[in-house]
């Protein structure tokens, strides 16, 4: 796959968002750089190649991720979208090396900063987890340990990777809590998570993830459990910190509104496979895959008018027995047009238009035209 | 917090007083001839008169209870065979069958029971929790199944059978007997070993299952995944993050078990010839020694109420989200 080329976007602001030295995460204006640096010459920091994750279960192997490949460079944000159960979390947990080796089969390759994660020894994995790569989880109330103070938990994360005294680690924790916008950080350090609001807990989670300066940050639906205002603040914070830390961000979400907000690139997953991949403008502006179209149709319009939601009909496929051919065919309104090809043959994830930076997995010969004439008029 | 505690203690005391009055009624008022019962089979008329006078059995019931309560806080006197016996506070009564103040009897028996129960608790908590954690981490494997199977098997055997088996077959164990801890800690421990083992094995089986279930639930929590994602060792994940949360529900079960065992260590005591509370109460029951029975009930209610209170306090220490008030 070729690394996407620099692409100017209308709202691009070369200078970044905040003045040097001034950090007010809560009030940062929601303008932002996108695709700021052209790093296509470098080797991408994260390279996932032909990743397959299988869970052997009593009912048979659950293929949660199949043949997944993508790359992500430092300073860039890749959004992974898809309905729940599409393999977003499972694939990112594999990057963190978080799957239990005794009950998970992982094949393919995951390279983070040149180091292969698949098959890594437990000791090396410990250095990787929280060190080179860190993860922010969805639901902060249950993702922080209820019995330990916020400070303890951040200190522990820092000391897992740095041989320093508790005092030094506490100072570091205070510093990080301040940076993620928690007022009075030294005092709040000794609070338990339940004494924090939802948004503050997520900030603390972010502070914990960033405490070791990881080059790869994975955020698994970090704003799903939060209300809209807080959600916007957290997104701003993540984008802001990404700029400061220059890290690569893998952002998992099922909210296309969030994708438009933060992503450079988008990967759409369905039934454990990538079905569409490319620059955010391309995927949201001119999507080629009927599943992506379905996702777009199911976003509620932002305006206040009562909106008609079009959820994609049907249910996500069973990972124990994926439909033959294109896994999306039982739910696809275009499956009938293609003479049975959809039920016979799995389409390849290949580039299907003049724009070679994008790929999709669908048999339709003229997806862009179908989108323009049939889908666009239906969108809210 | 302080107000809560005072309120809880006040309610605890009132529960105990109600139990006391109720059992007083049951033992001293309901029988047509309590003095005769207390006096026993070889009762002399003099002794009968002593008992009647000492317990104020001719007075109204309220006054009898009053005397009893007064004895608890200020002490009282008993008459027996022309002698006057001072029963110092807290006076729980006088056993005419044993010729001893009940407080003294209890004072001798209580340390025995407490030693058995606490020592046994150390055994079953350590073994049960450790085994439960191991089984939880290896959930679904043969080891796990063997451990759960063994634990269920042990619990299927009635406790007294288990105690009997240990007494009969574990002959390699030192001879059971009670020697006060303060005299010689070593002989104290050696004499109690068989009892600890019996109590320990029986309860470790149950605690293995409690700990396993609690640990499996905890290890599935999101914060455990977060802990793993930090890059700390798996042992730290399991024992610091996992066990810390998993023991909280076990503490509740433990508190109530402890209360139950303190009041019902009878089999263990009887089987190993240890002169504890259970044996004392059973003897009192057989000989209609009402003052001792009465004290047994009192101790039992104090233990139960105290354990409940203790569990609640422990809970707030274990789980910072729980606040008293
Ligand atoms: N440990 C596991 N054993 C069996 N199946 C699993 C396991 N973990 C996840 N799965 C399955 O893998 C699929 C993908 O899950 P996930 O990656 O969490 O989806 P999402 O895209 O919502 O994050 C789901 O159907 C889930 O049930
Ligand atoms: S391959 Fe066929 S079924 Fe699959 S998305 Fe394309 S048109 Fe629909
Ligand atoms: Mg998920």
Write the DSSP assignment of A321-360 as a string of letters.
Answer: SPPSSSTTGGG-TTGGGGTTHHHH-PPP-B--SS-TT-EE
Q: Dmax over Cα atoms in chain A, in whole Å?
A: 69
Tens of each residue's pLDDT in chain A, 380 residues: 444 444 333 333 333 333 343 333 333 334 444 444 444 456 899 999 999 999 999 999 999 999 999 999 999 999 999 999 999 999 999 999 999 998 999 999 999 999 999 999 999 999 999 999 999 988 767 899 999 999 999 999 999 999 999 999 999 999 999 999 999 999 999 999 999 998 899 999 999 999 999 999 999 999 887 888 888 888 999 998 898 889 999 999 988 888 998 999 999 999 999 999 999 999 999 999 999 999 988 876 555 454 556 778 888 999 999 999 999 999 999 999 988 899 999 999 999 888 889 999 999 999 999 999 999 988 87
Is residue A374 located within the same domain as residue A269? yes
Q: Is residue B65 scored above 90 in pLDDT? A: no
Any bridge partners for residue A268, and if so which? A81, A276
How far is the alpha carbon of A153 from chain B, nearest alpha carbon, in Å? 8
CB A243 within 8 A of CB A17: yes
- Nearby residues of A71 by Cβ (< 8 Å), 6 or more positions away: A1, A3, A44, A46, A47, A48
Which of B222, B226, B241, B320 is the best substitution to test chain A (most A C-beta atoms within 10 A)? B226
* Residue in A98, A127, A139 closest to B229 by CB: A98
**Rounded Cα gap, residues B194 and B273, in angstroms:** 11
* Residue in A129, A131, A142 closest to B222 by CB: A142
Is residue A109 located within the same domain as residue A220? yes
Is residue A125 located within the same domain as residue A261? yes
pLDDT recorded at residue A35: 46
How far is the alpha carbon of A281 from chain B, nearest alpha carbon, in Å? 32
Q: Nearest chain A Cα to B248, which residue?
A: A147
Partners of residue A129 in chain B, C-beta under 8 Å: 228-231
**Rounded Cα gap, residues A262 and B80, in angstroms:** 93
* Residue in A96, A130, A146 closest to B321 by CB: A146
In terms of average pLDDT, the best of B147-151, B161-165, B255-259, B279-283 is: B147-151
Residue A204 in domain = yes
Q: Does A268 contact ligand 2 (Cβ within 6 A)?
A: no
pLDDT recorded at residue B32: 67
* Distance (Å) from CA A253 to ligand 1 centroid: 15
* Distance (Å) from CA A261 to ligand 3 centroid: 20
Ligand nearest to the CA of A319: 1
Q: Is residue B85 scored above 70 in pLDDT? A: yes
Is residue A323 located within the same domain as residue A367? yes
Q: Does A120 touch chain B (CB under 8 A)?
A: no
**Dihedral of the CA atoms A354, A358, A362, A367 (nearest 10)?**
-50
Q: Does A135 touch chain B (CB under 8 A)?
A: yes
**One CATH from 1.10.357.10, 1.10.606.20, 1.10.3720.10, 3.30.70.330 for B103-318:** 1.10.3720.10
* Distance (Å) from CA A90 to ligand 3 centroid: 7
Q: Does A57 contact ligand 1 (Cβ within 6 A)?
A: yes
Residue A191 in domain = yes
Contact A144 B320 (CB under 8 A): no
Domain with A350 in it: what CATH number? 3.40.50.300
Q: Does A364 contact ligand 2 (Cβ within 6 A)?
A: yes
* Distance (Å) from CA A311 to ligand 2 centroid: 17
Angle at B257 between CA B254 and CA B263, to 5 degrees: 140
Is residue A80 located within the same domain as residue A50? yes
Smallest CA separation from ligand 2 atom 3, residue: A329
Q: Does A65 contact ligand 1 (Cβ within 6 A)?
A: no
pLDDT recorded at residue A21: 39
Partners of residue B234 in chain A, C-beta under 8 Å: 122
Q: Which atom of ligand 1 is nearest to the CA of A90?
A: 17
Is residue A145 located within the same domain as residue A113? no
Contact B230 A142 (CB under 8 A): no
How far is the alpha carbon of A155 from chain B, nearest alpha carbon, in Å? 11
Is residue A158 located within the same domain as residue A25? no
Residue A8 in domain = yes
Residue A241 in domain = no
Q: Which atom of ligand 1 is nearest to the CA of A92?
A: 17
Ligand nearest to the CA of A224: 3
Residue spans of the domains in chain B: they are 32-91, 103-318
Q: Is residue B229 scored above 60 in pLDDT? A: yes
What are the start-end ranges of the H helices in A246-311? 256-262, 280-285, 290-297
Please state the pTM of the whole predicted model: 0.83
How far is the alpha carbon of A164 from chain B, nearest alpha carbon, in Å? 15
CA atoms within 13 A on the CB side of A93: 22
pLDDT recorded at residue A164: 96
CB A181 within 8 A of CB A107: no
Is residue A110 located within the same domain as residue A157? no
**Rounded Cα gap, residues A345 and A262, in angstroms:** 35
- Number of domains comprising chain A: 2
Smallest CA separation from ligand 1 atom 19, residue: A85
Residue A143 in domain = yes
How far is the alpha carbon of B140 from chain A, nearest alpha carbon, in Å? 11
Q: Which atom of ligand 1 is nearest to the CA of A65?
A: 14
Residue A231 in domain = no
Residue A235 in domain = no
Q: Does A95 touch chain B (CB under 8 A)?
A: no
Smallest CA separation from ligand 2 atom 6, residue: A362
Least confident of A157-166, B138-147, B197-206, B287-296: B287-296
* Residue in B232, B234, B319 closest to A160 by CB: B232
Which of B231, B318, B321 is the best substitution to test chain A (most A C-beta atoms within 10 A)? B231
> Which whole number is the average pLDDT over B202-222?
96
How far is the alpha carbon of A220 from chain B, nearest alpha carbon, in Å? 12
Angle at A200 between CA A261 and CA B242, to 5 degrees: 110
Partners of residue B229 in chain A, C-beta under 8 Å: 96, 98, 129-130, 134-135, 137
- Top pLDDT among B32 and A196 is at A196
Give the ipTM of the model, two decimals please. 0.83
Contact B229 A135 (CB under 8 A): yes
Range of the domain at A170: 139-213
- Report the share of chain B in percent with pLDDT over 70: 98
* Residue in B222, B233, B245 closest to A147 by CB: B245
Q: Does A332 contact ligand 2 (Cβ within 6 A)?
A: yes
Q: Does A84 contact ligand 1 (Cβ within 6 A)?
A: yes
Q: Does A68 contact ligand 1 (Cβ within 6 A)?
A: no
Residue A229 in domain = no
* Distance (Å) from CA A80 to ligand 3 centroid: 10
CB A373 within 8 A of CB A286: no
How far is the alpha carbon of B221 from chain A, nearest alpha carbon, in Å? 7
Q: Nearest chain B Cα to A159, which residue?
A: B232
- Nearby residues of B255 by Cβ (< 8 Å), 6 or more positions away: B307, B308, B310, B311, B314
CB B211 within 8 A of CB B136: yes
Is residue A178 located within the same domain as residue A282? no
pLDDT in tens, B124-159: 999 999 999 999 999 989 999 999 999 999 989 888
Any bridge partners for residue A115, and if so which? A112
Is residue A250 located within the same domain as residue A276? yes
Contact A98 B225 (CB under 8 A): yes
Q: Does A338 contact ligand 2 (Cβ within 6 A)?
A: yes
């Amino acid at each position: 796959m070729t690394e996407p080329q620099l692409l100017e976007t209308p709202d691009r602001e070369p200078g970044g968002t905040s003045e040097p030295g001034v950090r007010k995460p809560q009030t940062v204006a929601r303008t932002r750089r996108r695709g700021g640096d052209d790093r296509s010459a470098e080797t991408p920091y994260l390279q996932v190649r032909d990743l397959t994750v299988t869970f052997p279960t009593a009912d048979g192997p659950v293929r949660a991720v199949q043949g997944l490949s993508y790359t992500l460079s430092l300073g860039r944000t890749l959004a992974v979208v898809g309905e729940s159960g599409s393999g977003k979390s499972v694939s990112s947990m594999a990057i963190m090396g978080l799957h239990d080796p005794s009950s998970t089969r992982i094949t393919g390759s995951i390279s983070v900063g040149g180091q292969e994660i698949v098959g890594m020894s437990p000791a090396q994995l410990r250095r990787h987890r929280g060190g080179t790569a860190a993860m922010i989880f969805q639901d902060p109330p249950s993702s922080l340990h209820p019995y330990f103070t916020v400070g303890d938990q951040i200190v522990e994360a820092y000391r897992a990777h740095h041989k320093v005294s508790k005092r030094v680690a506490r100072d570091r924790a205070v510093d990080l809590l301040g940076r993620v916008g928690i007022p009075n950080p030294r005092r709040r350090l000794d609070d338990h998570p339940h004494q924090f609001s939802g948004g503050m807990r997520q900030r603390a989670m972010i502070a914990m993830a960033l405490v070791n300066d990881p080059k790869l940050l994975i955020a698994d639906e970090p704003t799903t459990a939060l209300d809209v205002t807080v959600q916007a603040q957290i997104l701003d914070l993540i984008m802001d910190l990404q700029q400061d830390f220059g890290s690569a961000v893998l952002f998992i979400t099922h909210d296309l509104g969030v994708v438009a907000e933060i992503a450079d690139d988008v990967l759409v997953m369905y039934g454990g496979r990538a079905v569409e991949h490319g620059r955010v403008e391309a995927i949201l502006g001119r999507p080629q895959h009927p599943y992506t179209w379905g996702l777009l149709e199911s976003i509620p319009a932002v305006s206040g008018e009562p909106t008609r939601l079009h959820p994609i009909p049907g249910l996500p496929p069973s990972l124990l027995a994926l439909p033959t051919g294109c896994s999306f065919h039982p739910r696809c309104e275009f499956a009938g047009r293609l003479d049975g090809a959809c039920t016979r043959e799995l389409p390849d994830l290949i580039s299907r238009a003049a724009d070679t930076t994008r790929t999709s997995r669908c048999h339709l010969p003229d997806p862009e035209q179908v989108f323009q004439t049939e889908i666009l008029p239906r969108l809210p | 917090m302080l107000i809560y505690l005072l309120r809880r203690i006040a309610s605890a005391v009132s529960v105990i007083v109600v139990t006391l009055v109720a059992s007083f009624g049951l033992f001293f008022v309901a029988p047509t001839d309590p003095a005769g019962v207390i006096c026993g089979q070889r009762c002399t008329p003099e002794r009968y008169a002593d008992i009647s006078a000492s317990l104020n059995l001719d007075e109204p019931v309220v006054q009898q209870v009053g005397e009893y309560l007064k004895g608890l806080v200020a002490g009282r006197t008993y008459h027996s065979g022309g002698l006057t016996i001072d029963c110092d506070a807290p006076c729980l009564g006088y056993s005419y069958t044993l010729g001893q103040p009940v407080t003294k009897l209890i004072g001798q028996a209580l340390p025995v029971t407490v030693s058995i129960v606490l020592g046994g608790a150390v055994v079953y908590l350590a073994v049960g929790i450790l085994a439960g954690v191991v089984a939880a981490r290896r959930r679904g494997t043969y080891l796990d199944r063997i451990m759960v199977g063994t634990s269920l098997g042990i619990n299927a055997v009635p406790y007294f059978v288990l105690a009997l088996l240990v007494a009969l077959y574990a002959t390699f164990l030192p001879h059971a007997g009670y020697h006060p801890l303060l005299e010689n800690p070593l002989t104290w421990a050696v004499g109690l070993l068989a009892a600890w083992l019996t109590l320990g094995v029986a309860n470790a089986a149950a605690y293995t299952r409690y700990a396993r279930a609690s640990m499996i639930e905890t290890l599935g929590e999101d914060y455990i995944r977060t802990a793993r994602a930090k890059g700390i060792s798996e042992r730290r994940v399991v024992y610091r993050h996992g066990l810390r949360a998993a023991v909280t529900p076990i503490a509740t079960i433990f508190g109530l078990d402890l209360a139950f065992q303190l009041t019902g260590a009878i089999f263990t005591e009887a089987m190993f010839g240890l002169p504890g509370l259970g044996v004392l109460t059973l003897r009192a029951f057989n000989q209609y020694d009402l003052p001792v029975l009465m004290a047994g009930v009192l101790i039992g209610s104090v233990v139960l109420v105290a354990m409940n209170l203790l569990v609640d306090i422990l809970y707030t220490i274990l789980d910072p989200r729980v606040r008293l008030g």
